[in-house]
Chain A
Amino acid sequence: MENLIALLVAAPLLGAAVLLCGGRRLDRAGHWLGTLLAAASFVIGVVLFLDMLGKGAEDRTLHQKLFSWIPVEGFQADVAFQLDQLSMTFVLLITGVGTLIHIYSIGYMAHDERRRRFFGYLNLFLAAMLILVIADNYLLLYVGWEGVGLASYLLIGFWQHKPSAATAAKKAFLVNRVGDMGLSIAIMLMFTTFGTFAFGPVLEATGQTSEGKLTAIGLMLLLAACGKSAQVPLQSWLGDAMEGPTPVSALIHAATMVTAGVYLIVRSGAIFNAAPDAQLVVVVVGAVTLLFGAIVGCAKDDIKKALAGSTMSQIGYMILAAGLGPIGYVFAIMHLVTHGFFKAGLFLGAGSVMHGMNDEVDMRKFGGLRKYMPVTFITFGLGYLAIIGFPGLSGFFSKDKIIEAAFAKGGTEGWILGAVTLLGAAITAFYMTRVMLLTFFGEKRWQPDAEGHEPHPHESPKSMTIPMIVLAFGSVFAGGFFSIGDRFLNWLEPVTGHSHGHAPVSATTVTAATMVVLVIGVAIAWAMYGRKPVPVVAPRGSLLTRAARRDLLQDDFNHVVLVRGGEHLTRSLVYVDHTLVDGVVNGTAASMGGLSGRLRKLQNGYARSYAVSMFGGTAVLIAATLLMRAV
């Protein structure tokens, strides 16, 4: 069975190689090949999963060593895979949702002449993401980490003829570099601390290591997670990343890649458990991002950017849960999986709406679409109910668990975190209801596009609707399936560990409170966007609204603090370089040149003076030799 693990990666990697190197001959069949290989990877994943289910909880972990990567004395790195319950969960999510989105893309990208390349990039992404989650050491994980970053860059900028897309890709890449730096420093620290990168030895050795070192490693890992998962303060790229094709937003920037940070923190749980300070920072980052993303999501009129804000906020929930330690690990991953279903479904729904509306993204120019796109409406609606936590649907179970866990943290912290998560739930209900109302309800506010074409909204083709339907099933039932009988908890507990904490309030109270804030959020949204007609041009809005429309001034902040500061720094460095460094260098060069000019005059062309030089040289040589003996 172990030998199958490498095939998980090999299938999409083969697809990427063939599609990207194959040339135009593959234009007609390339998308089928890409989809087939993604599906093959999913099938292998399912086979491995069934095999894993057949074993006892303690011996479910599989290892496969492919080859010695860097065999140097004192520095051993292998290309080796480890498949345990945590990795398995991700493998199924990645290949499953990935395959659905491949199918969706066949329809969505039908008219794009670079479709083959698009599927090549998607396969590349799958391969890299799988390496990330099944690597058995941090160094190989880093390979996958960089690989998904590359695929993300290529896909955000897929329509590179649009300057906005090219810029967004560059921005995502640069911001991610900051996080990647964190990961590489963390790996270096691990090597100096533990002498290895493999998960097993590193995580077992945390007990014998000083807390200071672990805190440093933990904070660097958190920095990495912030970059990849768009958490404050490295969140600014995610909104712009919506320039990429919508299937990309669904797969990479909602369901899978952006959750890699959560995986990293949960995987490194032993390190964070032993470093409470780092853990506290994780919780703070999660809590801040949770509110930040939610507020941004409330103000955006671009449907994809509103959903992107929502993604940030939901990942904030997961990071927060992961920061709670053993109380929250399982629920972080559970929310990650259910979020994978409903957020991917919501994005695919948004893509379907855009598909029918001449690629319009401004929700103020939608309205009343439910009659024209019934399947999209129903699947999007189910995703909506799931994300706001409507009782019985996926989001209800997973988010509720996180809120409970936040309270269970105990003490003042627990109350604060509980309050924040509840507030987040209310805002989620508000902005998602807003999206729903603006898009599918109310009056038609359609506008002709730039070339004057009236939109003719229509339902999307089967290749697009079927993945949406499948994801809607997941959005509805996954949470319940996981929670009943604590199935998910029992499945993951051997890997992540679990503790219940001491909840100051009962689970029922928490659920009731969640319901109350849910109703409040929906009601406010209804009052603002349901009862009265929505203006096509956005009103000026309050100060907070205007700030939120500008992503709470994140870019302005970065510009003033980082860009300006960086410019000043470079300018002063250039000044030092030009005056001091160049001065020394040029001065040395000039003095050498002068010396050279003087010395070459000795070479006057007369054999007699050459002979004198030899004679003198010999005399000095003899004198020096004798002198050496005398001394």
Chain B
Amino acid sequence: MSATAVHSLWTTAGGMASAAPAEKFKAPVIEYTQLTPVLIVIGVAVVGVLVEAFVPRRARYYTQVFLAVVALAAAFAAVVGLAAGGYGTTKAHIAAMGAIAIDGPTLFLQGTILLTALVAVFTFAERRLDPASHGNQVDSFAAQAASVPGSDSEKAAVRAGFTTTEVFPLVLFSVAGMLVFPAANDLLTLFVALEVFSLPLYLLCAVARRKRLMSQEAAVKYFLLGAFSSAFLLFGIALLYGYAGSVSYAAIAHVVDGSVTQIDPALADTMGNDALLLIGGAMILTGLLFKVGAVPFHMWTPDVYQGAPTPVTGFMAAATKVAAFGALLRLLYVVLPGLAWDWRPVMWAVAIVTMLGGAIVAITQTDIKRLLAYSSIAHAGFILAGVIATTPDGISSVLFYLGAYSFVTVGAFAVVTLVRDAGGEATHLSKWAGLGRRSPLVAAVFAVFLLAFAGIPLTSGFAGKFAVFKAAAEGGAGGLVVVGVISSAIAAFFYIRVIVLMFFSEPKADGPTVAVPSPLTMTTIAVGVAVTLVLGLAPQYFLDLAGQAGVFVR
């Protein structure tokens, strides 16, 4: 059989050259209108690259910020338009020849990613926090990323007032990848999207203006480990292809269910071999769990969060998590529901060690960015609890949690950029002592974010955690909820400790100052606080929205 297949391939190639019958070639059907969010972002990103090449240096910053904001806003409008057109509910379907799923979760997560990216871009564009160097306003990014730290070329670049405006197209590329990631409906699209959003992030991590060596170290670590995890993912894809004879989610799901109709003769030997399925599935899970930062694939998180420029950290912590959990949900709910009995116990264990590990190690952290990194690990564990529920409520609670969490995160990191001393951001916790006495407003805002992280009622964190734990308990994961509540209690300790430190400790004489930001960062923080409180006080509308969006198309 396989011999004929090879033979026919060869003959077809010969035949193509002569006279290919017209009906044998089908032009792919691409629903461009439904892909507009992605297309807008990626198109403007390309324009951004051209801007770097052709627009004079002085005008680049303003052009790039304008383009990025307009692109993200327009893409968000497109998402809203699609949702209003019923593509999230009644018209949900598989688009682009089976590569992209347009459904409720896709649109909800794309909207969340775009809004998060929009407010995060404001912090990217912030130029008032660092003191002007040589008469030029500067942002958080290196003058010239390619110059060696401490070298003459770096000094020359700083003196010339260069700024790395490439960060804006990079963010747009990354966002484009993230938009596709949760929508990917076959494994190859999944992998391409993963690389599209990861590679710009590696670069972004490396371009901090201050502490450049640390930033570059973080980027290298992130890149190495990211490449490692991509390898696992890719290997897993290969194994699953061997198992199912297809990379399409639907086709794999059919094979898993045993409802497959035709068997590709080339794969008859391996097809339906459960070992391939289990090993391949576990390896793909590894790749995704790396991105969400679950224990034991979390170890890059603290180093990268600490080293990356803080605006990038905020963006990455929020948006990556949204995209990666979206892809994880689709994988588990669409491709592997037939395998739930196999992956659920394993994910149970991962969720438990993630919640406990993140919360426990965070206790002894002394750097605010590392503290938030461990906090994000613990939160990944809480979200996993909702993923494991495998009920419609599980999907909608995870969607809600992701929306709530991403705004708190962007807001919290935006506050971190404000607290500065001579060496840039003062991230050591001891310097935050007494901040509440000096800058009550900033400290109060940060306290709101911390309370939301801790899941205190009247904040979005409580509503999200409640929804996730409720879904998990009803989905038969009561034990997980108990562990989750215990971890929350442990986590509350270090969140509240920061609040105590800010409000009940004497300020230090050489303590940091709080820089007055431009309206850009203020907008980011204000949106963060507003979303946190609105989702905390009146969550029902958004829970309903997530509930409506929480159906995957297959």
Contact = CB atoms under 8 A, between A and B. Distances in A.
A binds B: yes
A607 B224 CA distance: 8
Contact of B299 (A610, A625, A626): A610
Interface in B254-308: 274-275, 278-279, 281-283, 285-286, 290, 295-297, 299-300, 302-303
Contacts of B302: 603
Contacts of A611: 224-225, 228
Contact of A625 (B224, B281, B300, B365): B281
A569 interface: no
B356 to A, nearest CB: 9
Contacts of B363: 592-593, 596
B33 interface: no
Contact of A592 (B285, B365, B490): B490
A609 B228 CA distance: 13
A449 B438 CA distance: 55
B342 A625 contact: yes
Given A596-B361, A596-B364, A599-B361, A614 B228 contact: yes
Contacts of A629: 274, 278, 342
A389 B345 CA distance: 86
Contacts of A602: 299
Mostly helix, strand, loop or mixed at chain A's interface? helix
B164 interface: no
Contacts of A609: 299
Contact of B345 (A600, A614, A628): A628
Given A607-B225, A611-B228, A617 B297 contact: yes
B364 A624 contact: no
A624 B296 contact: no
Contacts of B274: 629
B162 interface: no
A610 B221 contact: yes
B361 A600 contact: yes
Given A614-B229, A629-B274, A629-B278, A603 B364 contact: no
B278 A625 contact: yes
Q: Of A611, A616, A617, which is in contact with the most chain B CB atoms at under 10 Å from its CB?
A: A617
Given A600-B364, A607-B220, A618 B346 contact: no
Interface string A283-314: 00000000000000000000000000000000
A621 B233 CA distance: 13
Given A603-B302, A607-B225, A629-B278, A621 B361 contact: no
B349 interface: yes
Contacts of A614: 225, 228-229, 232, 286, 290, 296-297, 299
A536 to B, nearest CB: 59
Contacts of B275: 626
B542 interface: no
B228 A593 contact: no
A599 B357 contact: yes
Contact of A599 (B350, B360, B493): B360
B191 interface: no
A589 interface: yes
Nearest to A599: B361
B541 interface: no
A572 interface: no
A386 to B, nearest CB: 59
Interface string B77-96: 00000000000000000000
A589 to B, nearest CB: 7
Interface residues of B, number: 40
Nearest to A608: B224
A574 B461 CA distance: 34
A127 to B, nearest CB: 32
Interface string B333-363: 0000000011101100110000001001111
A618 B360 contact: no
A613 interface: yes
Contacts of A628: 341-342, 345-346
Nearest to B285: A621
B364 A597 contact: yes
A472 B302 CA distance: 86
Interface in B189-239: 220-221, 224-225, 228-229, 232
B283 A622 contact: yes
A605 interface: yes
Nearest to B350: A621
Contacts of A603: 299, 302-303, 361
A595 interface: yes
Contacts of A625: 278-279, 281-282, 342-343, 346
Contacts of B232: 614, 618
Contacts of B299: 602-603, 609-610, 613-614
Nearest to B362: A596
Contacts of B493: 589, 592
B296 A616 contact: yes
Contacts of B361: 596, 599-600, 603
A617 B364 contact: no
Contacts of B297: 613-614, 617
A445 B282 CA distance: 103
A122 to B, nearest CB: 38
Contacts of B362: 596
B225 A626 contact: no
A223 to B, nearest CB: 35
Contacts of B349: 624
Nearest to B232: A618
21 contacts: A593-B363, A593-B364, A596-B361, A596-B362, A597-B364, A602-B299, A603-B299, A603-B302, A605-B303, A607-B221, A607-B225, A610-B299, A611-B224, A614-B225, A614-B290, A618-B286, A624-B345, A624-B349, A625-B343, A626-B275, A628-B341
Given A610-B225, A614-B228, A624-B346, 9 more contacts: A592-B360, A599-B357, A611-B228, A620-B296, A621-B346, A622-B282, A622-B283, A626-B278, A629-B274
Interchain residue pairs A-B with the least CB separation, the first 8 = A617-B296, A610-B299, A596-B363, A596-B364, A622-B282, A618-B286, A607-B221, A621-B282
